[in-house]
Amino acid sequence: MRLDAADALARLTAHDHAVLSTLHPVRGVDAVPVAYALHDGAVGVPVDLVKPKASTRLQRERNLEADGRATLLAEQWHRTDWSQLWWARAELEWEPDASAEQVAALAAALEARYPQYEGQPFAKVLVFRIVGMSGWAAAADT
């Protein structure tokens, strides 16, 4: 069954991880698993210092500089009980010039949501505005 925007947003808000897709100018879709937090109609995705990486200048940010559109997809899978399946998708627009207050609020939300982010070990927080929500669930009560 199709989820309305409010139900899709509620599921996205309650879930703890999702896949962020950006557009690479040559390869097309780049999809990566991410931690995220929502606050006041915005999504924050950290560029953290917790997980090892070659650089804090990630491909997703270079992709966003070329095309600011992105998608965040959360889903629930159940191997044997398909009545538990659902997905929620947020259509996003990158906000490269987000206010310091918005970045701080999303950083605080990330810190509150994930113990690994205590002390806000972020190189930066990518900020997105939600421009659309959609979703699907196998049953209304999942």
Q: Answer for the pair 24, 30: CB distance below 8 angstroms, yes or no.
A: yes
Give CATH superfamily name and number for 5-137: Electron Transport, Fmn-binding Protein; Chain A (2.30.110.10)
Domain extents for the chain? Answer: 5-137
User: Tell me, what's the pLDDT at 142?
Assistant: 56
Task: Please report the pLDDT score of residue 31 as a whole number.
Answer: 97
How is 26-63 classified by DSSP, letter by letter? Answer: TTEEEEEEE--EEETTEEEEEEESSS--S-SS-HHHHH
What's the pLDDT at 11? 96
What pLDDT does residue 51 have? 72
Query: Residue 6 burial by CB count (10 A; 0-12/13-18/19+): exposed, middle or buried?
Result: exposed
Q: Please list the ranges in the chain whose pLDDT falls under 70.
A: 141-142
